[in-house]
Structure formats: C-alpha cells, structure tokens
C-alpha cells in the first residue's frame, strides 16, 4: 500500500497545470508547501492565463527574457502571452508567488460577489480498503496520521472503511464508535444512501418526516435541519482528530472469512458509491476529494472486475484487447456513471493502488471524464 503524499489546504479542480478559468471574476491563490513546513502562499489578484487554451500560468513555463520578462509561453498551445499589469515589477530575482519552486501545489478559489457567504473549507473523505494484511494496514494508518496532521485545522475530514461490507463512520458521535453499514453485494442508489443516512427529505429513519414549512427555504433540495446534520460525518480536523486517531487504532483487517482458493471479498464499487453520495448531499460543488486507498481488485457487488475464485486470473491487457474480460463492460458502465456523478458534483477522486491493472482504473474513464 503506497504512502500518502502531503495534502494541500485548498480543494478544487483548478490545479496549477490543469486549471481552467470560468470568467467569474477575481481568483485567489494558495500554494502548498506544507510537507516541508512551509506556509501557504496567498495572492489576491487575477492569474495569468493563455489566450488560446485558457491554461493557468504553470510554475515551469518558459519566460522570454528578451521581452524584459513580460511574455510567457504556454507549454500546451505555445502561444505567447503578456503578463497582467501587476507583474510589471518582476525580474529574475523578484518572481511572483506563482513561480515559487518550493510550492508544489497551487489551487484556486473563485471569489464570490460582495456579501456572498465565505467558501466552505477543503474536504477530504478517506476511503480505506481493509482487505489487506495487518502489516499493510499499519502502514496505511501511519500515512493517514501524517496526512491528517498536515491538513489545516479547519479542513473537513470523513472516514469510510470497506471490505465485505462498507462502514461509514459518524465522527460527530464522540460518545462511542457509531457506524452505518452498507451491504457490499448490492448496488444502491444515491437516494437510498441518503435515506439510510437521514439526509433525504424524509429525515432520519425512525424520526418524523420533515415537511417543508412556509417561508423555510430548502438547501440543496434538503430540509435545513437535515443540512445541519452533515456535521455528523464531515468534521473539522481540530474537532475530530482524537476520534479519528482512536478509530484508526481500532481498525483491523476485514474479519470476514475467506475460503481456501478464493480472493478476499472486496466491495470497492459500493464504497465509492457511498462516498460520492455522501459528498453530493453534504458539500456539492466544493471541490471535495475522495481519497481511496485500494489493496486489490473489486470482487463483490457493482464494479467487480474479477471473480472471487483464484482460478480466474485478473484480466490482462491482452484480454481487454480481445474483449475476453467477462466483467469489463459492466464495470466500465458502473464506473463511468460514478465518474459523471462526481463531475456533476464538482468532486475529485484520488486513487492510491499498487497495480493499475488490479484496481478500478482500467475499468473506468475517470481520466478522460475529469480531464
């Protein structure tokens, strides 16, 4: 299981080398060098974009010194672009914050109109595969603790663990460990997920239905009282760091027995479906990230890529070329639908896996859909 890199403070799809400007006014920028203990860089001005492809000025672009450093060349469309007026004083020894080499990550937030509410903090939802050996899981826990320690205190975090079943941890319930369990062998819709979590218009199971009252505006299609309940699953680091640490200490490899000659029962598709549904209900349009740590192929439920029987090998590239992978087309359909859902919600999926041909990446078009 690979180690997690340091996570930056802001979350959004407009990253340094792939950011697109939507023409909605000013942008604010924050560069992240937190892994080395460097503070974030905040710049309050318009960014430089290529006139042809709208690429946000990358940190490694070529600058024309013959033009007194007023021209930069886009590495994608090769257009020559003038720097904005506020770059007039730059020189080889006085570069703008966008070109700081120690800032490995740059993220943008679109500044809203005057009087608009402050943007939500960055959101990170960790999805951990527990169908691994204990030694690998211990490395995951160690990396998780390092990553969370590097996040800003106001960042929202959540936790989903999965194996044979999916466990969504309610971090806001500190009295004891409270978990919502989803069956890993059955595909569930977003509406069913929200209904079980009590985030739909019907309220929480066992509680009276919340009807729309005159003069009370719904938020994201949900009753405002339900909207406040999202803090059960996504809490600021400063409020849930101890709870999260306790959950990691108690986390064990999946206890479901695996018969001889079979693979572990791993319901990756349902886990990602639950994570996407949760973020779609809680923080739509915020650039939240799902960070999936996968230890092997999906063998159960929607998105399965290989059967549990070890006598069936994991499909190879030759199998894909010859259309000889029995689960491939159904997996493609499922993961493509999940990718489109994430794009419509404005969310990101980061996949950490040891082998590209043994997880979901070959069965999905995430890269094409996300750009």
Looking at residue 120, its pLDDT comes to 78
Interior/surface letters 221-249, b for 16+ CB within 10 angstroms, e for the rest: ebbeebbebbbbbbbbbebbbebbeebbe
Q: Cα separation of 338 and 360, whole Å?
A: 11
Residue 9, in any domain of the structure: no
Give the per-residue pLDDT at 363: 54
Domain count, the chain: 2
68 and 193 co-located in one domain: no
Q: Tell me which of 6 and 68 has the higher pLDDT.
A: 68
For residues 217 and 174, membership in a common domain is answered with: yes
pLDDT value at position 49? 64
User: Is pLDDT above 60 for 217?
Assistant: no
More confident residue, 137 or 360: 137
Select from 60, 76, 284, 244 the least CA-distant residue to 160: 244
With a cut of 70, say whether residue 220 has pLDDT above it. no
Residue 322: inside a domain: yes
Q: Is residue 165 part of a domain?
A: yes
**Residue from 313, 334, 353, 333 nearest 186 by CA:** 334
Provide the domain limits for residue 142: 123-370
Q: In CATH, what number is assigned to the domain containing residue 97?
A: 2.30.30.380
Residue 107: pLDDT band with limits 50, 70, 90: low
Q: How confident is the model at residue 5 (pLDDT cuts 50, 70, 90)?
A: very low
Answer yes or no: are the C-beta atoms of 268 and 294 closer than 8 Å: yes
Measure the CA–CA gap between 158 and 173, rounded to whole angstroms.
12
Q: Using 50, 70 and 90 to split pLDDT, how confident is the model at 64? A: very low
Query: 70, 88, 110: which is the final residue of a domain?
Result: 110
- 135 with 262, same domain? yes
In sequence order, what are the residues at sequence separation of 6 or more whose Cβ sits closer than 8 angstroms to the Cβ of residue 324? 315, 318
Of the residues 85, 110, 135, the one at which a domain ends: 110
**Mean pLDDT score, 129-144:** 94
Both 221 and 100 in one domain: the answer is no
Residues 223 and 83 occupy one common structural domain: no
Q: Band of the pLDDT at 141, cuts 50, 70, 90?
A: very high
Examine the domain organization and report whether 318 and 291 are in the same domain: yes
In a domain, 243, yes or no: yes
pLDDT of residue 15: 31
**pLDDT for res 362:** 56
pLDDT tens, 332-357? Answer: 899 999 999 999 999 999 999 876 55
Strands 123-129 and 62-64: unpaired
The answer to whether residues 178 and 276 belong to one domain is: yes
Within a domain: 19: no
Tell me the C-alpha distance between 2 and 351, whole Å.
Answer: 10
- Residue 220 is assigned to a structural domain of this protein: yes
CA neighbor of 98 nearest in space, from 46, 142, 158: 46
Residues 54 and 168 placed together within one structural domain of the fold: no
Rounded to an integer, the average pLDDT of 320-325 is: 70
- Residues 285 and 145 placed together within one structural domain of the fold: yes
User: Token digits for 276?
Assistant: 């996407």
Kindly report the average pLDDT of the chain as a whole number. 74
Q: Quickly state the pLDDT bin for 211 (edges 50, 70, 90).
A: very low
Please tell me the predicted confidence (pLDDT) of residue 23.
32
Measured distance CA(97)–CA(230) in Å, rounded: 36
Q: Is residue 66 part of a domain?
A: yes
- Decide which of 84, 110, 136 is a domain's last residue: 110
pLDDT of 286: 84
Query: What pLDDT, in 10s, does the model give residues 244-280?
Result: 999 999 999 999 888 888 899 999 999 999 999 999 9
Q: Which of 133, 27, 43, 89 is nearest to 354 (CA)?
A: 133
Same domain, 346 and 310: yes
Q: Which residue did the predictor score with more confidence, 354 or 234?
A: 234
What's the pLDDT band for 197 if we cut at 50, 70, 90? confident
Which has the minimum average pLDDT: 97-111, 172-186, 190-204, 279-293? 97-111
Looking at the fold, whether 203 and 349 belong to one and the same domain comes out as yes
Cα separations in angstroms, 257 against 49, 165, 242, 251, 265: 55, 13, 31, 17, 9
Q: Same domain for 90 and 154? A: no
Residue 364 sits in a domain whose CATH number is 3.40.50.410
- Residue 7 included in any domain: no
């Amino acid at each position: 299981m690979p180690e997690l890199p340091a996570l930056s403070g802001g979350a959004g799809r407009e990253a340094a080398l792939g950011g697109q400007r939507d023409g909605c006014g000013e942008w604010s920028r924050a560069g992240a060098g937190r892994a080395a203990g460097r503070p974030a860089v905040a710049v309050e001005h318009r960014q430089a974009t290529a006139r042809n492809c709208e690429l946000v000025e990358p940190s490694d672009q070529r600058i024309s010194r013959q033009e007194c450093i007023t021209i930069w060349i886009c590495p994608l469309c090769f257009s020559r672009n003038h720097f904005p007026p506020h770059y007039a004083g730059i020189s080889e020894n006085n570069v703008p914050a966008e070109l700081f080499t120690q800032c490995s990550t740059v993220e943008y937030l679109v500044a809203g109109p005057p009087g608009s509410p402050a943007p939500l903090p960055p959101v990170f939802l960790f999805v951990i595969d527990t169908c691994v050996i204990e030694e690998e899981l211990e490395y995951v826990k160690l990396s998780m603790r390092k990553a969370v320690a590097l996040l800003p205190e106001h960042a929202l975090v959540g936790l989903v663990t999965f194996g044979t079943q999916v466990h969504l941890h309610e971090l806001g319930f500190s009295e004891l460990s409270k978990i919502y369990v989803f069956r890993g062998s059955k595909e569930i819709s977003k509406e069913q997920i929200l209904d079980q979590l009590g985030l739909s218009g019907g309220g929480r199971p066992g509680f009276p239905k919340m009807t729309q009252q005159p003069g009370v505006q719904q938020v994201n299609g949900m009753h405002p009282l339900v909207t406040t309940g999202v803090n059960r699953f996504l809490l600021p680091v400063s409020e849930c760091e101890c709870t999260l640490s306790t959950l990691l200490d108690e986390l064990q490899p999946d206890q479901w027995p695996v018969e001889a000659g079979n693979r572990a029962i791993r319901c990756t598709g349902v886990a990602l479906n639950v994570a996407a549904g949760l973020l779609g209900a809680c923080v739509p349009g915020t650039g939240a990230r799902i960070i999936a740590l996968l230890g092997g192929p999906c063998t159960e439920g929607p998105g399965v890529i290989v059967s549990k029987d070890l006598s069936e090998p994991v499909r190879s590239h030759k199998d894909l070329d010859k259309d000889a992978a029995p689960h491939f087309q159904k997996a493609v359909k499922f993961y493509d639908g999940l990718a489109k859902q994430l794009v419509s919600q404005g969310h990101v999926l980061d996949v950490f896996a040891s082998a590209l041909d043994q997880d979901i990446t070959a069965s999905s078009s995430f890269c094409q859909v996300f750009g």
